Structure 1
Amino acid sequence: MSKRQRFTEEFKLEAVKQVTERGFGVREVAARLGTSPHSLYAWVNKYGIPAEQRLTADDQTARLKRLEAELRRVTEERDILKKAAAYFAKESG
């Protein structure tokens, strides 16, 4: 069983630069740096875009997750209120 390695963000950015700016192949860079091509492809997708756009995308992702959680909570509250209204309507009438 292989131990999972953690790479710093600087390491990932340098690896991505070798692919995007210097024109080396993903498999070649991955083999040279001792990482998997799959990881390097993921890094290229994440870090290959400018930092400003990446931060905007991260902010949008965080906002989306927050809104989905709020929607889930509000939907649960609505369902509880529907059941309570039906219960009290049955009791009073």
Structure 2
Amino acid sequence: MTTERKYRRFTPEFKREAVRQMSDSNKHCTQLARELGIRVNQLYKWKSELEQKSDDAFPGAGRHAGPEGELAKLKRENERLKQENEILKKAAAYFAKSLV
């Protein structure tokens, strides 16, 4: 039995506000995280991303594949197509034998 994991999504505004509260508030990070319903390490991760990328932080939903990701995707597709081609060659040879 497989269970699908549900991921919660947070808006960029929510993330920025959480990081702002983390900086401005007198509350401990654990308490703030509990109140927001998130993990403490998620707060630190958002803070780090905001510090590193500032305006470009939290661009949107999903992962954005760069050139390396696209290359890996194309390599996987190429491998899949090679396997399909081999299967088709074997099937053609099998049916050609039965016709003779």
TM-score of the pair, normalised by structure 2: 0.48
* TM-score normalised to structure 1 length: 0.50
Greater fraction of residues in helix: 1
